Amino acid sequence: MSSTTPAPDPAVPADVRVGVIGVGQMGADHVRRISERIKGARVAVVTDYFRDKAQEIAGAVPGCRVVDSPEELIGAEDVDAVLIASPGQFHRDQAVACIDARKPVLCEKPLAMNPEDAYEVVRAEAAAVAETGTPYVSLGFMRRFDREYAELRDAIAAGELGRISLLNLKHRNAHTLPGFVDTMMVYDSAVHEVDAISYFLDEQVTGVQVLLPVAGPRAEEGQHDPMLILFRTASGVIVTDELYVNTAAGYEVRTEAVGSAGIATIGLEHGRVTTHLEGGRWGGSIPADFRPRFIDAYDAEVQAWIAAIREGANVAERSATAWDGYLAAAVCQAGEQALSTEGFVPVSTQPRP
């Protein structure tokens, strides 16, 4: 430190040094978010399977360095907390490694690509909590931080809509990455609706049925797109979830809650509507993908995570937890089985440790 650089003020806690595993579409967005908008944190280390990409992302962040592996990042002295944004099949091992290193971790959904792996994370955290009293895992179900989701949940909880009979959900992407087959549509896309059902209704999904309509014009090999998933909850609510991941139009996520006293709809994000002065048309635009559509929810989720770490608060009280991730994986497993089964497939779960 030069003689002209003021000494750090001991009264102001240093920034949380975040290590980001995976700097593809989602991870790079989180690096920008932490670097530009999140208070009290900075990205200190990144790693990615594609080192060139990691170098490119780190190069835009002052003081950020690249390491060769998730293990090296998790063990790094200059990493206080870890954000996992790698592909879902790596999340179990990386989350368990963070728990073993006693470092708080925000793991992007899904927690794992099957309930057995997700349950391993739950068990590892339970053992760590028994020793330290501290939960370590926050799960990236960011829709819980969406303003409209929170408002709808409060309205349902307050009884404003009466007794809920149906939720009609729509989850539309403009396109998906190559290889995004049916099981990915369930574990990586529908997983958001699975968590949203518990979030809105405060109860668990007990059965799943999948209906495969006529394929859309852009369904890829191994993909039934669109797909209709039916969920049944413990109290008998039926949820319809239209998954359409190659619309080519844009990103639309909608919820309609049908109750005995009212019907509420969120996700009708129109933004600016323009009347075109020629051709007698009017219209607006559709977000390209989840990053612009849920930017505020992602920001709120990551800021809540960093604030909990800086305050020494219980991160599990500020976000979805490893247990929420396990329950979602168990429902997704029933959904995966329902892809090739007629009727509802029951959801089975392990006891909570």
For ligand ISE, the binding residues (CB under 6 A) are 173, 188-189, 192, 245, 290
Q: What gap in Å lies between CA 64 and CA 23, rounded to an integer?
A: 13
Q: To the nearest whole angstrom, how small is the minimum distance from the Cβ of residue 122 to ligand ISE?
A: 21
Q: To the nearest whole angstrom, how small is the minimum distance from the Cβ of residue 112 to ligand ISE?
A: 14
Residues in the chain, overall count: 353
Nearer to ligand ISE (CB atom), residue 138 or residue 173:
173
State which H helix or E strand residue 189 sits in.
Answer: none
Q: What gap in Å lies between CA 295 and CA 286, rounded to an integer?
A: 14
Nearer to ligand ISE (CB atom), residue 170 or residue 232:
170
Nearer to ligand ISE (CB atom), residue 161 or residue 187:
187
Which stretches within 143-250 are classed as H helix? 147-157, 182-184, 191-201
The SS3 assignment for 30 reads: helix
Q: To the nearest whole angstrom, how small is the minimum distance from the Cβ of residue 347 to ligand ISE?
A: 21
Q: What gap in Å lies between CA 212 and CA 214, rounded to an integer?
A: 7
Nearer to ligand ISE (CB atom), residue 189 or residue 255:
189
Nearer to ligand ISE (CB atom), residue 125 or residue 241:
241
Q: To the nearest whole angstrom, how small is the minimum distance from the Cβ of residue 276 to ligand ISE?
A: 29
The SS3 assignment for 215 reads: coil
Nearer to ligand ISE (CB atom), residue 199 or residue 290:
290
Q: To the nearest whole angstrom, how small is the minimum distance from the Cβ of residue 77 to ligand ISE?
A: 31
Torsion sign over Cα 50, 289, 271, 241: negative
16 Cβ neighbours under 8 A, 6+ residues apart? 40, 41, 42, 80, 81, 306, 309, 310
Q: To the nearest whole angstrom, how small is the minimum distance from the Cβ of residue 293 to ligand ISE?
A: 8
